[in-house]
Amino acid sequence: MDNSILFSARLSLQVALVATAFIIITGVPVSYFLAQKNFKGKELVDIIFTLPLVLPPTVTGYYLIVIFGRNGLIGKMIYDWTGFTIMFTWYAAALASFVVALPLMVKTTRAAIESVDRNLINAAYTLGHGEIETALRVILPLARKGIIAGTVLSFARAMGEFGATLMLAGNIPGKTNTMPLAIYSLANSGEWTQAHTMVILLTIMSGLFLYIANMYTKRSI
Amino acid sequence: MGLSVSLKKKVNGFTLDVAWEIEDELAVLFGYSGSGKSLTLQMIAGLIRPDEGIVRSNSKTYFNSSAGIDTPPWVRSFGYVFQDLALFPHMTVLRNIIFGAPEIPKDEKVSRAKEMIEAFKLKGLEDRYLSEISGGQKQRVAFARALIRQPEVLLLDEPFSALDHPLRLEMRRFLQEVRERFAISVILVTHDFDEASSLADKLIVYSHGKVAQVGSLQEVMNQPSSTEVQMLVNTKKL
């Protein structure tokens, strides 16, 4: 296989894996709080975590530039302290994928946690287990199929991220051109053979992930 | 161990306002469905917060709204058996029982659980999941799990209501054995007068969120405090 295809495939995997790791770390606690706790502004939090699912990825990317760009709200502070900017690096691609794919994790995991029988949670409490222990030993294990399905869906979404990545990381060959971006460039320049290979590769991989996610969501009902 | 309870709670247009005490005995909360019996148990266990009131055992005050005391359910010493038993489907019989003993040191846990398994005639079922055991066995797992950490009071929320008649009779005998063996106060919620009359040392009759009468079975049957209580105890099964 062509070196540039291999590079893009490897980069896409790397970006999606890193994004998914952070999605699990962030998504599970956020989903837990949304499912179990009643607090002021809960619906607002839910909306913020769902918005990237419905916004055009370019809009999400635009927000990310406003926040993490070199002159952005947080990006400027980071740049002033360290001289580093996330813009046009593979980290930016991972950040974009993280933000765009996180809602899939939160939606799926929240639903799974909400479907855990309230009596089982109460039983754990009356048996002397506090909230954290009950979450770790009863709620999350019983919601695990939803969590796995959410993880797989997020991973597949992260693999296919295009718009926000383009805004934040650019489309730099050999640096930030993940598979979707590479396909865009190849199609633009009429290099169909390589484009075909990547399109087929990405389709098979995404189909496989959906199959895995379906297996888990079906079983969790 | 005794228990003293005084609870007020408004939920969705229903008002619960009850106060009663029990000694070291088996008390039955008896009344129609929706009279606030289960709500009372949940508030005793700390699963629902009363608007005001007191929950106090001989050794400890668990809830006192005027003193600002509200102990979380995991610190209260109550064994709770739920109507649907609430056994953990992702754990084996042994794991379910051990889960009821979080404060017991690790090496003691298994030996204690084994004792419970022996006492509750569950030997040979340790590694089974719940889908692999019978209804009566599930009941015994739920009791073993609730009792392993030796709670002060055992709270039973209609645990036998889903069983067929012969098994229900067997479980009543079993409950009396448990009482003797563990010398524990029991509060049993039921709307089945047969069950109430065959088990109760004390009857606490509920009606529309209030206590209509407290007394022994004889007292309640011979001198019902109102026509409603009379109807309740004359109806065999509600």
What is the per-residue pLDDT for B237? 43
The answer, yes or no, to whether residue B236 has pLDDT greater than 60, is: no
Contacts of residue A137 in chain B, CB cutoff 8 Å? 99
- Smallest CA-to-CA distance from B41 within B75, B67, B18 is with B18
Dist CA B95 CA B110 (whole Å): 9
- Confidence band of A1 (pLDDT split at 50, 70, 90): low
* pLDDT in the model for residue A179: 95
> Taking all residues of chain B, what is their mean pLDDT, rounded to a whole number?
92
pLDDT over 70 percentage in chain B: 98
B88 and A138 in contact by Cβ < 8 A?
Answer: yes
Q: Is the pLDDT of residue A33 over 50?
A: yes
pLDDT range class, residue A162, cuts 50, 70, 90: very high
Interface contact flag, B82 A123, Cβ < 8 Å: yes
Question: Could you tell me which chain B residue has the CA closest to the CA of A143?
Answer: B90
pLDDT of residue A165: 96
d(CA A60, CA B83): 48
DSSP string, chain B: --EEEEEEEEETTEEEEEEEEE-SSEEEEE--TTSSHHHHHHHHHTSS--SEEEEEESS-EEEETTTTEE--GGGS-EEEE-TT----TTS-HHHHHHHT-TTS-HHHHHHHHHHHHHHTT-TT-TT--GGGS-HHHHHHHHHHHHHTT--SEEEEESTTTTS-HHHHHHHHHHHHHHHHHHT-EEEEEESBHHHHHHH-SEEEEEETTEEEEEE-HHHHHHS-SSHHHHHHHHSSB-
**Contact (CB<8Å) A141/B90:** yes
Rounded to an integer, the average pLDDT of B63-76 is 96
B86 → closest Cβ in A119, A129, A133:
A119
- The CA distance from A118 to the nearest CA of chain B, in Å, is 9
Helix (H, G, I), strand (E, B) or coil at A201: helix
Q: Measure Cα distances from B44 to A47, A79, B52, B184 in Å.
A: 37, 57, 12, 16
**Residues whose CB is less than 8 angstroms from the CB of residue B117 and which lie 6 or more positions away in sequence, other chains included:** B93, B94, B97, B123, B125, B126, B144
Check residue A214 and give its pLDDT: 85
Report the alpha-carbon angle B155-B37-B33, nearest 5. Answer: 125
Q: Examine the pLDDT at B238 and tell me if it is beyond 50.
A: no
Which residues from chain A sit within 8 angstroms of residue B143, using beta carbons?
A: none
CA distance A124 to chain B (A): 8
A117-138 average pLDDT score: 97
Average pLDDT over residues A22-27: 98
* B153 min Cα distance to partner chain A (Å): 12
List chain A domain ranges: 3-220
Strand B14-22 with B202-207, pairing: unpaired
**Residues in chain A within 8 Å Cβ distance of B46:** 125
pLDDT of residue B75: 95
pLDDT at A216: 80
Chosen for mutation from A117, A120, A126, A142 (greatest number of chain B CBs closer than 10 Å) is A126
- B113/chain A closest Cα distance in angstroms: 14
Work out the percent of chain A whose per-residue pLDDT is above 70: 98
User: Helices A144-159 & A192-220, crossing angle to 10 degrees?
Assistant: 170
Tell me the pLDDT of chain A averaged across its residues: 94
pLDDT at A219 over 80: no
CB contact under 8 A, B74 and A122: no
Sheet with strand B3-11: strands edge to edge: B14-22, B3-11, B52-57, B61-64, B69-70
Which among A120, A130, A137 has CB closest to B74? A130
What pLDDT score does A30 carry? 97
Rounded mean pLDDT, A175-190: 95
pLDDT in the model for residue B1: 67
Chain B residues close to A122, C-beta within 8 Å = 42, 45, 47, 73, 80, 82, 86
What does the pLDDT average to over A190-205? 93
Give the residue on B whose Cα is nearest the Cα of A132. B74
Picking from A184-188, B20-24, B161-165, B189-193, which range would have the lowest pLDDT averaged per residue? Answer: B161-165
Interchain pair B99, A120: CB under 8 A: no
Q: Does the structure show a pLDDT above 50 at A220?
A: no
Q: Which residues from B are below 8 Å from A142, CB to CB?
A: 88-90
Q: Is pLDDT of A218 > 80?
A: no
Which tens digit of pLDDT belongs to each residue from B141-155? 999 999 999 999 999
A120, A122, A125 member nearest B88 (Cβ): A120
Q: What's the average model confidence in pLDDT over B180-186?
A: 90
Contact A213, A149 (CB under 8 A): yes
Nearest residue, CB atoms, A129 vs list B74, B78, B82:
B74
Chain B, window 9-38: residues with a beta carbon less than 8 angstroms from a chain A beta carbon: none
Domain A3-220: top CATH class? mainly alpha
H-type alpha helices, chain A: 3-36, 42-54, 57-68, 75-82, 90-114, 118-126, 131-134, 140-142, 144-159, 163-169, 179-188, 192-220
Query: Which positions in chain A touch B82 (Cβ < 8 Å)?
Result: 119, 122-123
Q: Is the pLDDT of residue A6 over 60?
A: yes
With CA atoms as reference, the chain A residue closest to B91 would be: A138
Tokens representing A195? 């484009």
Domains and their CATH numbers in chain B: 3-77+151-234 (3.40.50.300), 88-150 (no CATH)
- Which A-chain residues 112-151 have CB contacts (< 8 A) with chain B? 117, 119-120, 122-130, 133, 137-138, 141-142
**What is the predicted pLDDT for the residue at A2?**
73
CA dist A95 and A176 (Å) reads: 12
Range A10-17 average pLDDT: 96
